[in-house]
Structure 1
Amino acid sequence: MKQILLTTFLVITVGVNCIEFDAKICDSLPQFDGRLRERIANISTDVQKIIDYVVNGADRGVTYNELAKFVDTFGSRLVGTKNLENAIDYMLDLLKTEGHDNVHGEPCAVPVWTRGKEWAQMNSPRVKPLNILGLGYSVGTNGTVLTGEVVVVKTFDELKNRSNEVKGKFVVYNFDFKGYGESVEYRGRGASEAAKYGAIAALVRSVTPLSINSPHTGMQSYASGVVKIPAVSITVEDAELFGRLAARGVKVNVSLYMEARMEAEGTSRNTVSEIKGTDKPDEVVLVSGHLDSWDVGQGAMDDGGGAFISWRALSVIKKLGLKPKRTLRSVLWTGEEMGLIGVQNYAKEHASELSKMSIAMESDIGTFTPFGISFSGTNTTAQCIVNEVLKALNPINATHMSLGKDGSDIDFLMAAGVPGSSLDNRHETYFYYHHSNGDTMTVEDSHQLDLCTAVWAATSYAFAALDDMLPR
């Protein structure tokens, strides 16, 4: 499991460098001729049927209602819990009712981390309860209450420069939020960096640009050969409070109690269903999101919305009687939050099939108003085909394509050479609610979910209906 954690941390902290696609290059590309454009245009009639059916027709509001029923019934779905497995059983039954083909779960080993009871408070200069959430894989306090002074730092460099002040104290990371990819470093390795200098615990400012005194949890990793100390998320407000007090020379004393611990390894499942292709059933277009969530909120945004537009894409195509040439496969990943475990297992177990996967699509950065999709493929003809397909989404203003890798859920598939795609949407507020008690159904909007479902169903169908796989 250690290798999974270290690999995953690298994946989620690399960041995304998508660039705008220049469609002018398609005009001078011999492979992208008038016949290919015409074949793509012929698919646009079916694309319009999908859009009309989802946004204005009988399917309007269905994604929202199904998602609300699901998250209201199961709530949060931490990997390794009976609740997640009950949710997976529910989905398997639902997908069979929806008429999907080859509905099944694919088992994989998962870690079982238990939060247990936890609390913290500031003891001086005044008594104040602290809102905290232990970070994934954190150790607890061994049945004791840790008490000590805090050292507040903004960067790892400052921590190193003040390392002689750290022993026997709490390290508070009050970093400046500079985007998720950069700031999540403090959550991911803050505990081990602090432990190198003798800290007793790490209190990490929530990785969010906006807070209403609510902490945001997430996964962290322990470096090998370094003592494991408790790692917790604290609110932006408390991190800044500690920062102001420290700047005035006021000593701050806090206490922390945590029962967090690792249990024995468990088993979970990726949830798989299909629409079998008519002409080329061994070739696959994959759509995906992850079904597990953190143990706070409802997991409606991260990633209930992404998971539900993925399986619903197949249901829409099925209800309309459309027949894709190649197989459309929906995969609802498990164990994403604790290390991309489901997709790693899938990439390993299906390694021999990945050469026949035309594209892997994932949605895990919100299901707000869509712009279009990103595309990781480097083949220029493939880029032009994707761009041409998106033109048919003009009625819902979702024609935008950016180039680059976006979305860790399919990173292991892209690493194996599969072109990847992620839903591009107006997710400016995503990290307001991410990994917090605020991730509830209230964040979701019925019309926006319809638009995202339409984008997902239309594009995945178009890629499955093309005469050939996307070139690599």
Structure 2
Amino acid sequence: MIKKSLTAVLVLFLSVSASPVLAQQEIIEKIVKEAENNSQLEILAHELLDVVGPRLVGTPQMANAHNWAIQKYEGWGIPARKEEWGKWKGWKRGITHVDLISPRIQSLEARQLAWSPSTGKKGVTAEVIILPEAEDSIGFANKIKSVKGKFVMISMPQPTGRPDDNWEEWATPESFEKMKRERDSLDKLWDARLERTGYGRRELPKALEEAGAEGIITSYWSRGFGVNKVFSAYTEEIPTIDISLEDYGLLYRLAKYGNKPEIKVVSESTEGGEVPTFNTIAEIKGTEKPDEYVILSAHFDSWDGATGATDNGTGTLVMMEAMRILKKIYPNPKRTILVGHWGSEEQGLNGSRAFVKDHPEIVENVQALFNQDNGTGRVVNISGNGFLHAYDYLGRWLYEVPEKVTSHIETNFPGTPGRGGSDYASFVAAGAPAFNLSSLSWDYWNYTWHTNRDTYDKIVFDDVRNNVILTAVLAYMASEDPERTSREKINLPVSRRTGEQMTWPEPRDAERRGMLEEK
């Protein structure tokens, strides 16, 4: 009787002690199955990128994106809200159409830069000239008069539109090296030309505007076939147009050889005055520790040269899909799982910095934050960001992620604190354990980061699904962990660059009135 009783007790003990492990494995298996067999990524991507489109801060499309996200979350039974954190200069992109009309007819690949003033529906027709060359700023002050009534080209003409890997594959070594020397020489000569104007890169367009130029023409090549970086204008009354390398080179050669090219520019846009800026926040409330937080993080805004598919559409999709799956599979988390879709990351992490400043009670109780921002690739690197004991908890959580996901990942513990680059840095600066899920390149920096080619077709959905599984399982494990994560920081080393002791980054507030006059 005694032996039977002891055996029964032992069996009961083993079954009870094993049950949490089995339950955990079951939840993870369900997360993986939902991500792989019932993925909503493609439809979410279509709705966000094809229908809503680019999400430049201060535009109607950014407002549409916030409303769309809230509707999606509420449809999944997840409470969501917009949180206003500042104001921004409102602007709405219209039609851009640029035609070469002399010495021949050709439509050019071009777009107005963000916040560029409008030409109106009738457009502007004028000759194109190259930025006047002078010996010094005094000479330029005299020559700048020649820009009146002209479109002025202010970017260096690239000697080749072929990326370096194309040259490396096909050119002779001697030819490849010659091209690079010539390009480097042109870079130095153009930089010297700009320096002799006496103006910085932001001030020069304004000076040309004041001198009576009809418009500014730029071309910011991204070192890939047909790809340009597309940012913002610095003019207040005249349009600023970015033209593809190929067509910019055409205009430059025509101007250089005295063919006096003329273009017609129709560049419509509308200024919207002062508009509110938001973060979109959604959360699944914790049942046992509702005032402790696991945060999923991705910036919602983009530049608008394209649709922001990989910067940061893919990060946004990962966090939304992870939240959908968690709500379905794990609807009653131990800790609150909160997702932040931050506004105006592209102008300086503004949305996340504002959230950190405005919600110290949440930041103080962050269990962990997971951020994804650098493209469509599967996650391949995670750093401990300088938190001394990050390995202890991140290692536990990562161990439970399926090996087919983690086999790609290298970790760096304890690492050093991230100081910028994406929104996790806003939380790291405040001492919260925040981690960036860093992705495989897929030529992100050349082809999609802030370019005119950052579009739906560049998404690699298999890799994005991989990241959804990683994020959802990490969030689940962080929520369930019986221990609170440590915030103890490493003693930072001496900087090799400065020779001085490194210090932990300091929190910074957001730019609360973007491109607006201070009140």
Normalising by the residue count of structure 1, what TM-score does the alignment of the two structures yield? Answer: 0.72
Instruction: Judge conservation of contact 1:216–1:234 (CA < 8 Å) in 2.
Output: no
The answer (yes or no) to whether the contact 1:112–1:264 under 8 Å persists in 2 is: yes
Could you tell me which residue of structure 1 aligns to residue 77 of structure 2? 99
Correspondence for 1:139 among 108, 117, 121: 117
Match for residue 230 of structure 2 among 199, 203, 217? 217
Aligned equivalent of 2:474, options 416, 436, 459 = 459
Does residue 192 (structure 1) correspond to residue 203 (structure 2)? The answer is yes
Secondary structure at 2:485's aligned position in 1? coil
1:119 corresponds in structure 2 to: 97
Q: Which residue of 1 aligns with 2:248?
A: 239
Task: Report the alpha carbon displacement of residue 357 of structure 1 after superposing the two structures with TM.
Answer: 2.6
Match of 2:389 in 1: 381
Q: Distance in 2 between matches of 1:290 and 1:191?
A: 26
* Mapped pair 1:281 → 2:290: yes
User: Is 1:64–1:446's contact at 8 Å kept on the other side of the alignment?
Assistant: yes
Equivalences for residues 34-433 of structure 1 within 5 A: 52-57=29-34, 59-60=36-37, 62-71=39-48, 72-100=50-78, 102-108=79-85, 109-123=87-101, 126-141=104-119, 145=124, 147-151=126-130, 163=140, 167=145, 168=147, 170-174=152-156, 190-196=201-207, 198=211, 200=213, 201-212=215-226, 216-220=229-233, 230-242=239-251, 253-295=262-304, 297-321=306-330, 324-337=333-346, 340-375=349-384, 377-382=385-390, 385-387=393-395, 389-393=397-401, 394-396=403-405, 397-402=407-412, 403=415, 404-405=418-419, 407-430=421-444, 431-433=446-448
2:484 counterpart (454, 462, 468): 468
C-alpha distance 421-104 of structure 1, shift in aligned 2 (>3 A):
same
CA contact (8 A) 2:31 2:473 kept: no
Identity %: 26
Report how far residue 120 of structure 1 moved.
2.8
Does structure 1 retain, via aligned residues, the 8 Å contact 2:114–2:304? no
Q: Secondary structure at the match of 1:92?
A: helix
Amino acid at match of 1:456: T
Alpha-carbon shift at residue 453 of structure 1 (Å): 0.3
Q: Which secondary structure does the structure 2 equivalent of 1:328 belong to? A: strand
Any idea what SS the aligned residue of 1:174 has? coil
Check 1:464–1:112 CA distance in 2 against 1; reply closer, same or farther (3 A cut). Answer: same
Structure 1 window deviating more from structure 2 (264-273 vs 142-151): it is 142-151
Indicate conservation of the 8 Å contact 1:152/1:246, yes or no: no
Maintained 8 Å contact 2:222/2:451? no
Q: What secondary structure sits across from 1:115 in the alignment?
A: strand
Cα distance 1:422–1:44, how it changes in 2: closer, same or farther (>3 A)?
Answer: farther
Deviations, residues 274-333 of structure 1 (Å, cap 9, x unaligned): 122344322222212233445565443332321121122233233333754432210122
Asked whether the 8 Å contact 1:291–1:307 carries over to 2, the reply is yes
Using the TM superposition, give the Cα deviation of residue 369 of structure 1 relative to its aligned residue in structure 2, in angstroms.
2.3
Question: Highest relative contact order (Cα 8 Å, sep 6+), 1 or 2?
Answer: 1
Query: Deviations for 1:33-70, whole angstroms, at most 9, x for unmatched residues?
Result: xxxxxxxxx99978865664455556535142341452
In 2, distance between residues paired with 1:266 and 1:63?
32
- The alpha-carbon distance between structure 1 residues 415 and 256, as it changes in their structure 2 partners (threshold 3 A), is farther
Q: Distance in 2 between matches of 1:137 and 1:341?
A: 18
Looking at CA atoms only, which structure, 1 or 2, has the larger radius of gyration? 2
- Cα deviation 1:112-168 (Å, max 9, x = unaligned): 112233333445554433222222222334776262433269xx9999799565551
Shift of 1:454: 1.0
Alpha-carbon distance, 1:259 to partner:
3.4
Report how far residue 451 of structure 1 moved: 0.2
Residue identity in the other structure for 2:369: A
Question: 2 CA distance for matches of 1:416 and 1:259?
Answer: 42
**Separation in 2, partners of 1:116, 1:97:** 32
Q: CA deviation at 1:455?
A: 1.6
Note the aligned Cα RMSD (angstroms): 4.2
Secondary structure at 1:304 match in 2: helix
SS in 2 for 1:380: coil
* Change in CA separation of 1:319 and 1:229 when aligned onto 2, cut-off 3 Å: same
Q: CA 1:381/1:374 → structure 2, altered by over 3 Å: closer, same or farther?
A: closer
| Matched positions, count | 416
- Is this contact kept in 2: 1:138–1:261, CA < 8 A? no
Sort the Cα spacing of 1:204 and 1:357 in 2 relative to 1 into closer, same or farther, 3 A. farther
1:162/1:60 CA distance change after superposition, 3 Å: farther
CA distance in 2, matches of 1:469, 1:77: 35
SS at match of 1:195: helix
- Between the aligned partners of 1:118 and 1:439, the Cα distance in structure 2 is 18
Q: Deviations along 1:415-443, whole A, 9 cap, x unmatched?
A: 43334322211233334244556443322
Matches of 1:450 and 1:417, distance apart in 2: 30
CA distance in 2, matches of 1:160, 1:358: 56
Listed one character per residue, the Cα deviations across residues 243-277 of structure 1 (whole Å, up to 9, x for unaligned) are: 55677677655454433353221235422111223
Does the aligned pair in 2 maintain the 1:216–1:435 contact within 8 Å?
Answer: yes
Kept in 2, the 8 Å contact 1:310–1:456? The answer is yes
Q: What secondary structure is seen at the aligned counterpart in 2 of 1:301?
A: helix
> 8 Å contact 1:152–1:243 — kept in the other structure?
no
What is the SS of the residue equivalent to 2:437? strand
